[in-house]
Chain A
Amino acid sequence: MSKPDSRAETAARIRHLLETEGDAVAENTRGFNRGRHEAVRELEDYEALKSEARAIKEDAIERLPELIDDLREAVEANGGRVYVADDAADANAYVREVVDGGTVVKSKSMTTEELELNEALEADGAAVTETDLGEWVLQLADEAPSHIVGPAIHKSREGIADLFAETFDLAGEDRPETAEELTRFARERLLRDIREADVGVTGANFLAADSGTMALVTSEGNARKTAVVPDTHVAVAGVEKVIPTVEDLAPFVELIGRSGTGQDITSYVSLLTPPVASPPVDFSDLESPIAASGTAAGDGATEAHPDREFHLVLVDNGRLAMREDDDLRETLYCIRCGACSNSCGNFQSVGGHAFGGETYSGGIATGWEAGVEGLDTAAEFNDLCTGCSRCVPACPVKIDIPWINTVVRDRINRGGDPGRFDPLVEGLTPDDETGGLDPSKRLFGNFDALAKLGSATAPLSNWGASLGPVRAAMDRWLGIAPERDLPTFERETLVDWFESRGGPRVSEGMARREAVVYPDTYTNHVAVDRGKAAVRTLEALGVRVHVPASTAVASGRAPLSQGMVETARGKAERCRNALLAEIDAGRDVVVIEPSDLAAFEREYERLLPEADATALADGCYEVLEYVYGLLENGADPAGLTAAGDSNATGGDDDNGDCDDRDIDDDRDRDDGDGITVAYHAHCQQRTLDLEAHTVAVLERLGYDVTTSETECCGMAGSFGYKSAYYELSMDVGEPLAEQFCDADRVLASGTSCCEQLDALLGPSTEGSTEHPIEAISPPEG
């Protein structure tokens, strides 16, 4: 992945997918994602339901061997057979024996994709037809699924119409065009196959160990036909699908459709306890009644039909080893709802053909592919996870997907050997990582060292970095996108500034609280103004503020995002020592950069002893959250800059070269003296539920606030700096640019968001993106 060639190849592949599939994927995933937001809002106790679902999964995976035994007993008592297959070959061999070269209809199942079951059956001369319309389209087109729930979302209606016309030689009147016609055509073709099939193969969304019941969640009804028309049913499912009881299904049934496609429930949730009682429908004998004469609704419903045969193939294929792996185990809680894909900015732009492996796609695919295929497969797309964390609140079983991606990235960095450790590091800066680490990862992972050097040598450092040949070399050797402006280092750091002005200005006796403004690497060396603004704001609200040099310690967030877990741990320990000392001294820690706050609140529990992580998380606040708290507790906002104050106007100029797309020009403009600010909260800040505080503070100061509707600006840390991903990053940001294009003033909480918005909205004299603290802080001087 580190060689210039492979970077160019990655960039080219992504560009191709952006052009060919990006629009369809974007429309569908964003639609699903909007649907999710609406559908979960209706749920009374969404968070409790998620916790319940997670607890069931935790318990089930913990007791998995025992539950598999219970399930086997239940299925066998009903008259079915259970086979636990070690790997793909083992599973396929079993199914091949059952099918015996016959005709097969299948409903959608990612597990059978993982096994490549169709190919295995076809090798025996079996005819296999996918009956899910999306899967069928892909089967005809000979393509792989691009999404775990909507396999064909990358295909347009026109493309499908052409595909059908070509495959079945249809022209003129016969050629289906509309979605309605295409559906009808597919239904009729597929019914022919279902009528003739010897065997129906399905997956299973859940398996209840107490009853042997399997749940199949579908909307089309094809799984129902597949399971009950032929007399033989083979269900293929990963071992992780087992849950203890049928009652445990309730939270999952309420969550799965909402999370995935935004439907509160799918049309059908089949709860089959096979072999089922329903008589097979034998279309080779059209005139004999399908049921015994005289039966009524409910008759014989608990008896298996005598002609039925049922096989449950439970697939291990790496899963039981994942269960033993502390970092990958959570992957097994996944219910394959697709929410992590839909909520992911990068996925929304390129889809699963870029952000996916052999079988699985989206955020959680890294865990699946690392577990069932191996690290090499996961390595091919793992970098597309920027760690933005927007999938975390979307996941109905609360999987920490970014952490799985970080761990797998770390293992990839170490060449697949988690124990390998080479203290004799070469490369840019000393760290705790192995020698073979990608130089670009090493650079971004050690951004704090670079920043120190940058400030010390500014403005020379900035001038050097802007030179053409230097940028070309950076692109070639480090993969840094030449199109991207680099951060400009300030000669005077925040810590220096604070010291030179003579330390705290609010006296101990007058102070409402004491706080430390955490001088994160960026605030200290690059975005020094926002640090000064934070100090002035807090002082205006009566806080005795400190910015001690001892706290200018990198949080470890940068190496973490490169998968350099050991380096991150070392930095986290140093940062904890510095900040806990302040907290112990009775000071609050105020954090400006959301990704650092996220490190303290979400990630330190993985890097530090629990008590330390909790103490730090409890003692730190996001800067506007802190301001909000002060105002709520009676601090007087008079000293702050409100919307009507003269220096608050960003001017009415449009932001540079933003073309007038379909933006409503007058929106929010004419509410008296209110200044319209467009505010984009950082992804991690939204995950931590901290957007509302900033909005409340801005509104209290008289601003009209429009918030962003997109999940992501596309930059997420170092991502947009990398040449392989630069174009993707800009594509992800496009909807945000469209929405914000006409705002008087644009605010964003994260460093990378500010940079991205500046790049997206074009250069502008007054309108460069600022942190909200800069909008409200008292003027300098």
Chain B
Amino acid sequence: MSSDTLSAFVAGAEDHHASVHRSAPDAVAGTVADLIDPPAVGVRLPDELDLPEGVATDPTPAELDAANTGISAARLAIADYGTVVLESDAAGSEAVSLFPERHVAVVRAGDVVPGMREAMAALGDRLRDGASEVLATGPSATADMGDLVIGAHGPRDVEIVLVEDRDE
């Protein structure tokens, strides 16, 4: 992925009240650990990326309720908007990314696409195969209570770990 696209992604995320933390693959566990407000729940990451110690994978509803941080993988990211595309999968990524006040999303630099059109093109066949995705941009928000409030039903804090291979 071009460095232009990646810097656009960082800027897009920041515009939407999210932060991006760049990390090498073998440093992901450490980077995520720094972003956790415990207790944390998470979904096992793909591609042999590690979660830090102390993150409850396979969470129960009780753990989900108690968690301050949820960690999940993003399948794709959209540079223009700083959006992460979260997958609704059998591992419970949807709940993990939605209930806790802080969401840490892990996305590979190679999965960052420039714009909405590229994202939809990349998702089309997967959706036709039956997958479900959430384009998540920044924290949840509402203006229904008389003023803009960050953090409504979903997280109020979004941290994105951008995983860059050395040759990327």
A110 to chain B, nearest CB (A): 16
Q: Are B94 and A228 closer than 8 Å at their CB atoms?
A: yes
CA distance A293 to B43 in the complex (A): 11
Residue in B closest to A293 when the chains form the complex, CB atoms = B58
B90 to chain A, nearest CB (A): 3
Within 8 Å CB of A155, what residues of B?
Answer: 146
A76 to chain B, nearest CB (A): 12
Within 8 Å CB of B75, what residues of A?
Answer: 298
Within 8 Å CB of B151, what residues of A?
Answer: 183
Decide yes or no: A302 and B130 within 8 Å by CB, A133-B145, A160-B145, A267-B154 being known contacts. yes
Q: Are B132 and A187 closer than 8 Å at their CB atoms?
A: no
A191 to chain B, nearest CB (A): 8
Residues of A in contact (CB 8 Å), total 82
CA distance A290 to B64 in the complex (A): 9
Within 8 Å CB of B136, what residues of A?
Answer: 267-268
Decide yes or no: A271 and B135 within 8 Å by CB, A246-B128, A277-B88, A290-B64 being known contacts. yes
Q: Are A277 and B131 closer than 8 Å at their CB atoms?
A: yes
Within 8 Å CB of B8, what residues of A?
Answer: none
Residue of A156, A228, A292 near B90 (CB, 8 A) is A292
CA distance A131 to B144 in the complex (A): 12
Q: Are A221 and B98 closer than 8 Å at their CB atoms?
A: yes
Within 8 Å CB of B140, what residues of A?
Answer: 219-221, 267-268
Question: For chain B residues 124-155, which have a beta carbon within 8 Å of chain A?
Answer: 124, 126-149, 151-155
Within 8 Å CB of A224, what residues of B?
Answer: 94, 98, 134, 153-154
Within 8 Å CB of B123, what residues of A?
Answer: 246, 271
A281 to chain B, nearest CB (A): 5
In the complex, B19 has a CB within 8 A of chain A: no
A666 to chain B, nearest CB (A): 33
In the complex, A93 has a CB within 8 A of chain B: no
In the complex, A140 has a CB within 8 A of chain B: no
B141 to chain A, nearest CB (A): 5
Q: Are B153 and A277 closer than 8 Å at their CB atoms?
A: no
* Number of cross-chain contacts by CB at 8 Å: 244
Q: Which of these binds chain A: B25-33, B113-121, B159-167? A: B113-121
**Residues 652-676 of chain A: 1 if any B CB is under 8 Å from the residue's CB, otherwise 0?**
0000000000000000000000000
A138 to chain B, nearest CB (A): 10
Decide yes or no: A133 and B88 within 8 Å by CB, A273-B131, A277-B132, A278-B95 being known contacts. no
Q: Are B138 and A290 closer than 8 Å at their CB atoms?
A: no
Residue in B closest to A208 when the chains form the complex, CB atoms = B127
In the complex, B22 has a CB within 8 A of chain A: no
Q: Which of these binds chain B: A6-14, A247-255, A410-418, A698-706? A: A247-255
Decide yes or no: A221 and B144 within 8 Å by CB, A268-B135, A302-B131 being known contacts. no
Within 8 Å CB of B69, what residues of A?
Answer: none
**Residues 536-578 of chain A: 1 if any B CB is under 8 Å from the residue's CB, otherwise 0?**
0000000000000000000000000000000000000000000
B52 to chain A, nearest CB (A): 16
Question: For chain A residues 498-547, which have a beta carbon within 8 Å of chain B?
Answer: none
Q: Are A219 and B141 closer than 8 Å at their CB atoms?
A: yes
Q: Are A272 and B132 closer than 8 Å at their CB atoms?
A: yes
In the complex, B54 has a CB within 8 A of chain A: no
Interface bracket on B: 35 or more
Residue of A134, A211, A221, A289 near B58 (CB, 8 A) is A289
CA distance A48 to B150 in the complex (A): 33
Within 8 Å CB of B110, what residues of A?
Answer: none
In the complex, B60 has a CB within 8 A of chain A: yes
Q: Are B61 and A282 closer than 8 Å at their CB atoms?
A: yes
Question: For chain A residues 664-703, which have a beta carbon within 8 Å of chain B?
Answer: none
In the complex, A371 has a CB within 8 A of chain B: no
Residue in B closest to A279 when the chains form the complex, CB atoms = B92
In the complex, A304 has a CB within 8 A of chain B: yes
**Residues 247-267 of chain A: 1 if any B CB is under 8 Å from the residue's CB, otherwise 0?**
101100110000001001111
Within 8 Å CB of A228, what residues of B?
Answer: 88, 94-95
Q: Are A290 and B124 closer than 8 Å at their CB atoms?
A: no
**Residues 214-240 of chain A: 1 if any B CB is under 8 Å from the residue's CB, otherwise 0?**
000001111011001100000000000
Q: Are B154 and A296 closer than 8 Å at their CB atoms?
A: no
CA distance A384 to B28 in the complex (A): 59
Chain A residues with a Cβ under 8 A of chain B: 28, 78, 131-134, 137, 150, 152, 155-158, 160, 178-180, 182-183, 186-187, 190-191, 208, 210-211, 213, 219-222, 224-225, 228-229, 245-247, 249-250, 253-254, 261, 264-274, 276-279, 281-283, 285-305
Please name 13 further chain A to chain B contacts, defined as beta carbons within 8 Å, in addition to the given A150-B144, A265-B16, A297-B72, sorted by A numbering: A157-B147, A160-B146, A186-B145, A224-B98, A267-B139, A267-B154, A278-B92, A281-B64, A285-B61, A295-B58, A301-B126, A302-B126, A302-B130
The 14 listed contacts between A and B (C-beta, < 8 Å) are A133-B145, A157-B146, A211-B124, A221-B155, A224-B94, A225-B154, A246-B120, A249-B120, A271-B123, A271-B134, A281-B95, A289-B60, A297-B43, A298-B89
